[in-house]
Structure 1
Amino acid sequence: MNRKEVSDSTMEANIAYTSGYKQKCREHHEVLQYVCENCRMLLCDVCFRKSHTAHNCFYIDNFLTQRNDLLFRLIESGRLATNCYEDIGYKEVDSARHIDNNCNLLAQSIRNTFRPLIASLQQRESNLLDVVNNMHKNRMENMYEQVSTLKASYLGLVKVIKKLNKVAKIGHKLENLYIVTQILEAQRQVDTYAKILEEKQYKDEFYKFYAPQVPYEILRDIENLGSIELDDNNDLTALNNIPTTLEDANEKDIILSSSQETSSAEVEIKVEKDTCKKTKTQKSENDRNIGIGQAVPGCLNKVKAFRSDLPSLAFAPKGNGQGHVQRPWGVCVNQLGDIFITDRLNHNVQIFSPNGEFIFRFGRKGKSGGQFNAPAGICVDKNGRIIIADKNNHRIQVFSSGAKYLLSFGRLGTQCGKFKFPFDVAVNTKLEIAVTDSANHRIQQFDYNGHFIREIPLGTCTFTGYQITPRGICYTPKGNIIVTDYVNHCLHLISPAKGKIVSTKGSLGFGYLQFSRPSGVCCDDDGTIIVADCHNRRICVFSSTLESLWNIDIRPSVNGLNNSYCNETDRTCDVALTKDGRIVFISEMLSAHEAAQTAKRFVHVY
């Protein structure tokens, strides 16, 4: 047979219809008699003679006899191909895990390289700003001192002039010795005041900040600092030895994820060993998918609660001016150590330095972006963004570190993404925002841009029968959530992954692990839990397994502190930790005692 034309081997089967046991050609309507092995198709006599004479063709009846091994060869080829595909699939899975692991290690390496540099720059900025703040304070104090001295000198000079005018007026009635004595005394006083005037005049000094002279080449090098290149050796040893800056979210000790009622109307939180065997890949995936809590978000150093029974600082008196508050509730601290306070009656947010000096404030009453109606909870994420629960506007607002309005999300409602009096907010290292949707009796989580992630309904408390009403909220170092239950006087541990309460602790009372209207809550980086026990007028500190460590009672009759900053009826609202682990909390004054408390301070640091 002479080869004339080669057909496309991908063409469809050449079968038009079947008549009895005879199959017809689609094109020529002739009986199919041949098998073309080259084209993998059936042929009629016309097809064969027209374009397949050069191919390896067989009569249909003879094909299986002459190629009886073909079926088994195809089965074996298919089996081998299937094994190859399965091997490729396993390799792809391993490659995907390798890509995940490699990229995670690369990201961690980049963070650990640049964070110390960024921290050093931020520290230098903070130091220079402290110098400016101290300079401003000292210069203003000197100016006020000069003004006071000049004012006193002016009044003294006026008094001398009056006396001399009197002497001049009735001098003919006075003795010469007296007149001379008065004149000499007046001369001495005028000389003194003239000297004071010369020394105490304000000098219009002007200071200037000289920016570091950084050559353009260095700035360009910084912009291009570091590179990511292919490692031909495929060696991950160096990356695996990178020192981490965040606590491992998968520690061996975990809080038991079960809720059970006890005879004392309490639910025990136990500690058990995690017996789950995780591979290295599983562990890295868990680390990647769990956002953990930080006591001071973005702080490179580990923050551990510091025990102190004495106040080290008290500030923010009552009023409407700068540095004054009316009814504060929320408090948080950023990575520079600045303290943020929300004021529900002044409808604003005020920022203070670590030593309690007023820095600036923003916000006023309203419904527009950047305006508030009784702002409550507040937190700052690791990027410095300020996140505020705008309670009576039923929304969350987000601002830049410089208080520039960025976005808001939520409005009044019961559907997912809506709120009814959101009271507190918290943020984790994945920049996920958790909100206590108080009157809707649930927790909601959102991403960095305020997009809804999940709803965690809280339901009814098993040992009181009342609906769970969340008030304060924080993330733990293991990625769980702790909320205070204002109505049922207890704490709830929530697993975001499971979307439910996994354990509960506490009951009404004043004893060990008892609360009365618990409000704000926070954790240090070891998992130590600090609770503002509002109506018991104290701060309670527990270990991560809820062993009582110490309390701070703000009542003067109990703590023995003779100060006028707190009285017997004040209550604790919210709590946070400073960078050095000191406890900072907000106190609330009852309205009946407001008039008598002129020296009252609302923010306390222990």
Structure 2
Amino acid sequence: MNRKEVSDSTMAPNIAYTSGYKQKCREHNEVLQYVCENCRMLLCNFCFRKSHTAHNCFQIDNFLTHRNDLLFRLIESGRLATNCYEDIGYKEVDSARHIDNNCNLLAQSIRNTFRPLIASLQQRESNLLDVVNKMHKNRMENMYEQISALKASYLGLMKVTKKLNKVAKNGHQLENLYIVTQILEAQRQVDIYAKILEEKQYKDEFYKFYAPQVPNEILRNIENLGSIQLDDNNDFTASSNIPRTLEDATESYIILSSSQETSSSEVEIKVEKDTCNKTKTQKSENDRNSGIGQAVPGCLNKVKALRSDLPSLAFAPKGNGQGHVQRPWGVCVNQLGDIFITDRLNHNVQIFSPNGEFIFRFGRKGKSRGQFNAPAGICVDKNGRIIVADKNNHRIQVFSSGAKYLLSFGRLGTKCGKLKFPFDVAVNTKLQIAVTDSANHRIQQFDYNGHFIREIPLGICTFTGYEITPRGICYTPKGNIIVTDYVNHCLHLISPVKEKIVSTKGCLGFGYLQFSRPSGVCCDDDGTIIVADCHNHRICVFSSALESLWNIDIRPSVNGLNNTYCDETDRTCDVALTKDGHIVFISEMLPAHEAAQTSKRFVHVY
């Protein structure tokens, strides 16, 4: 009998440290004497000699002596199994959310692909049916016109015929002149009737619809258009809410698990960069994504955000006149250093010099070209064109550097290229315009001339269950897009090439990487991220790795500034960078505090 000890065992019989074990084998009715570790079973002497002599077997009492640690190992294994099961339960909840999000995205992508095709076919069907309806109406009218003309001619002919019958009957009593006159009139009526009968007689025409010549092969191809396949380059982890470095989220990482407990609203992980080379697919995607963001589009010098805890300039008081604002929101800077401000209540755009001096303004309330209804976001491309999100008109308007109207695109709707309350705009070096289509919960990209490029549906935020509502937007120096999520209090990094969110960061609160209604956002040319944390009354500055650098709190009770430009209830709206790297942002008052205050200023430069 082989008595070599087995290194580990998961066998778990009813163990008791007693001798004289009298339970019998059901097959041979002999007392059970041995334990076979290989087969995990109790044996009688006959069973052992029959088929277990080559196995690792012990007598029952000797087994307890040699394997007295087995009970505790099995208890520990049970504990580990319980912990593992609980972890799997938590992961199952996350996986269920990811499955929902993935399937929702698939369904939306399928709709976006096929609905334009279906709409085109329905439009063609509608056009042809309109032709048939108009044809029916015209042909019926022509037929009734022909019958009416024939009827009138027939009545005239019958009248003359009666007179001729009278002439034939009483001709000897009538004058020759009268008889000749009636004959000539009858000839004219006959000629008229014959002509009408020839021209106006209804023609029994027949039209036929010729169906498009579509080979059966094409029909089969249409039936098989599109497919749903596993994306080997993505998994649920990549699209989850596990926080990671926003600016580097599209690179390859090795994710290490962390044993530290975290809050329910955010999960922390340790991240190491993978030293492996990027795949060809990633390289090709980066090659295609050649458009990058600039802090000041067209500026030849690199713009880097400067830290300052004190304001260097404040301008734009409350009012309707030149240089005055009522409800400003958007801000941007051009390569000359001029500062552009949108005013949602005055419905215009105003331009100020780098020193805050008023230069000019354009626009007024309306729906026509060059008019606005609550303009919000604004940006300037490298050619100096001014791009404005005309929010309540559901469109984007583009102007020359001298404010001459050039073009507009978008109108109210949910289809690709249509907009619903677009809040902000951004432009990259390829002159691609990104729009936060807020009420449609998506990002849309357009080219230089306003032609639709792509849409990026945003879906549901996994850790809140609410729809993602984008507000502020900017391009990063790597060509990705950062948007603020006004409803879910976080930031999303979006890859335009992959057309999806690749990372999410932040949650509701006032601490590190916590926000309350984040609004405007911008990046400097090193990737530093500046966020207008609206309801927290501050500007937050992060490195490209989302390390907190500094904050600008605009409340006098916090910053200790003894000026009257801001009060405790003012909020930050939008943010931009000057050519020198100074942070310029817009503040707004609560509607309840909009009483006239001559000392108020709404544009601040730090």
TM-score between both structures, scaled by the size of structure 1? 0.57
1:508/1:591 CA distance change after superposition, 3 Å: same
1:56/1:462 CA distance change after superposition, 3 Å: closer
1:505/1:242 CA distance change after superposition, 3 Å: closer
After TM superposition, the structure 1 stretch with the greater mean CA deviation from structure 2, 229-238 or 251-260, is 229-238
Contact kept? 2:517, 2:533, Cα under 8 Å: yes
Deviation at 1:405, TM superposition (A): 0.5
Contact kept? 1:573, 1:587, Cα under 8 Å: yes
Q: Which runs of 5+ in 2 are unaligned?
A: none
Contact kept? 2:105, 2:457, Cα under 8 Å: no
After TM superposition, the structure 1 stretch with the greater mean CA deviation from structure 2, 48-57 or 330-339, is 48-57
- 1:177-576 matches, within 5 Å, as 263-266=263-266, 272-273=272-273, 275=275, 277=277, 286-287=286-287, 289-576=289-576
Deviation at 1:261, TM superposition (A): 13
Q: Deviations over 1:93-130 (max 9, x none)?
A: 99999999999999999999999999999999999999
Q: Deviations over 1:427-476 (max 9, x none)?
A: 01111110000000000011111111111000111111111000000001
1:208/1:70 CA distance change after superposition, 3 Å: same
Contact kept? 1:427, 1:475, Cα under 8 Å: yes
Q: Deviations over 1:220-262 (max 9, x none)?
A: 9999999999999999999999999999999999999999997
1:193/1:111 CA distance change after superposition, 3 Å: same
Q: Deviations over 1:564-590 (max 9, x none)?
A: 100000000000000000000000011
After TM superposition, the structure 1 stretch with the greater mean CA deviation from structure 2, 243-252 or 359-368, is 243-252
1:15/1:390 CA distance change after superposition, 3 Å: farther
Contact kept? 2:12, 2:71, Cα under 8 Å: no
Q: Which runs of 5+ in 1 are unaligned?
A: none
After TM superposition, the structure 1 stretch with the greater mean CA deviation from structure 2, 196-205 or 369-378, is 196-205
After TM superposition, the structure 1 stretch with the greater mean CA deviation from structure 2, 20-29 or 360-369, is 20-29
SS at match of 1:149: helix
Deviation at 1:81, TM superposition (A): 65
Distance in 2 of aligned mates of 1:210 and 1:300: 61
Q: Deviations over 1:357-416 (max 9, x none)?
A: 000000011111111000000000111111110000000011111111100000000001
> 4+ runs of 1 displaced by more than 4 Å?
1-263, 267-272, 278-285
1:578/1:592 CA distance change after superposition, 3 Å: same
Distance in 2 of aligned mates of 1:264 and 1:316: 43
Deviation at 1:592, TM superposition (A): 2.1
Q: Deviations over 1:534-576 (max 9, x none)?
A: 0000000001011110000000000000011000000000000
SS at match of 2:103: helix
After TM superposition, the structure 1 stretch with the greater mean CA deviation from structure 2, 226-235 or 124-133, is 124-133
Distance in 2 of aligned mates of 1:509 and 1:79: 37
After TM superposition, the structure 1 stretch with the greater mean CA deviation from structure 2, 262-271 or 315-324, is 262-271
1:178/1:134 CA distance change after superposition, 3 Å: same
Q: Deviations over 1:251-299 (max 9, x none)?
A: 9999999999975322558765365636999969844642111000001
The percentage of counterpart residues that share the same residue type is 92
Q: Give the equivalent residue in structure 2 for 1:36.
A: 36
Distance in 2 of aligned mates of 1:329 and 1:418: 23
SS at match of 1:82: helix
1:13/1:135 CA distance change after superposition, 3 Å: same
Deviation at 1:33, TM superposition (A): 95
Deviation at 1:593, TM superposition (A): 1.9
Deviation at 1:598, TM superposition (A): 1.9
Deviation at 1:503, TM superposition (A): 0.6
SS at match of 1:574: strand
1:48/1:100 CA distance change after superposition, 3 Å: same
SS at match of 2:33: strand
Contact kept? 1:112, 1:245, Cα under 8 Å: no
Contact kept? 1:268, 1:504, Cα under 8 Å: no
Deviation at 1:528, TM superposition (A): 0.5
Deviation at 1:334, TM superposition (A): 0.4
TM-score between both structures, scaled by the size of structure 2? 0.57
Contact kept? 2:586, 2:604, Cα under 8 Å: yes
1:144/1:10 CA distance change after superposition, 3 Å: same
1:153/1:496 CA distance change after superposition, 3 Å: farther
1:280/1:195 CA distance change after superposition, 3 Å: same
1:602/1:145 CA distance change after superposition, 3 Å: farther
Contact kept? 2:5, 2:56, Cα under 8 Å: no
Deviation at 1:595, TM superposition (A): 1.8
Q: Deviations over 1:321-345 (max 9, x none)?
A: 1100000000000000000000000
Contact kept? 1:6, 1:52, Cα under 8 Å: no
Corresponding pairs, count: 606
Distance in 2 of aligned mates of 1:569 and 1:152: 86
Deviation at 1:597, TM superposition (A): 2.1
Contact kept? 2:241, 2:462, Cα under 8 Å: no
Contact kept? 1:333, 1:380, Cα under 8 Å: yes
Q: Whose Rg is larger? A: 2
Distance in 1 of aligned mates of 2:368 and 2:323: 24
After TM superposition, the structure 1 stretch with the greater mean CA deviation from structure 2, 23-32 or 444-453, is 23-32
1:474/1:181 CA distance change after superposition, 3 Å: farther
Contact kept? 1:32, 1:43, Cα under 8 Å: yes
Distance in 2 of aligned mates of 1:307 and 1:541: 9
After TM superposition, the structure 1 stretch with the greater mean CA deviation from structure 2, 216-225 or 30-39, is 30-39
1:319/1:159 CA distance change after superposition, 3 Å: farther
Contact kept? 1:461, 1:468, Cα under 8 Å: yes
Give RMSD over aligned pairs. 22.1
SS at match of 2:341: strand
1:68/1:295 CA distance change after superposition, 3 Å: closer
After TM superposition, the structure 1 stretch with the greater mean CA deviation from structure 2, 271-280 or 567-576, is 271-280
SS at match of 2:454: strand
1:121/1:71 CA distance change after superposition, 3 Å: same
After TM superposition, the structure 1 stretch with the greater mean CA deviation from structure 2, 590-599 or 356-365, is 590-599
Q: Deviations over 1:481-510 (max 9, x none)?
A: 100000000001111111111111111111
Deviation at 1:424, TM superposition (A): 0.2
Distance in 1 of aligned mates of 2:359 and 2:118: 23
SS at match of 1:254: strand
1:465/1:232 CA distance change after superposition, 3 Å: closer
Does residue 9 of structure 1 match 2:9? Answer: yes
After TM superposition, the structure 1 stretch with the greater mean CA deviation from structure 2, 98-107 or 81-90, is 81-90
Q: Deviations over 1:12-68 (max 9, x none)?
A: 999999999999999999999999999999999999999999999999999999999
Distance in 2 of aligned mates of 1:339 and 1:163: 96
Contact kept? 2:522, 2:575, Cα under 8 Å: yes
SS at match of 2:143: helix
1:176/1:26 CA distance change after superposition, 3 Å: closer
Distance in 1 of aligned mates of 2:141 and 2:125: 24
Distance in 1 of aligned mates of 2:305 and 2:461: 30
Deviation at 1:531, TM superposition (A): 0.3
Contact kept? 1:268, 1:503, Cα under 8 Å: no
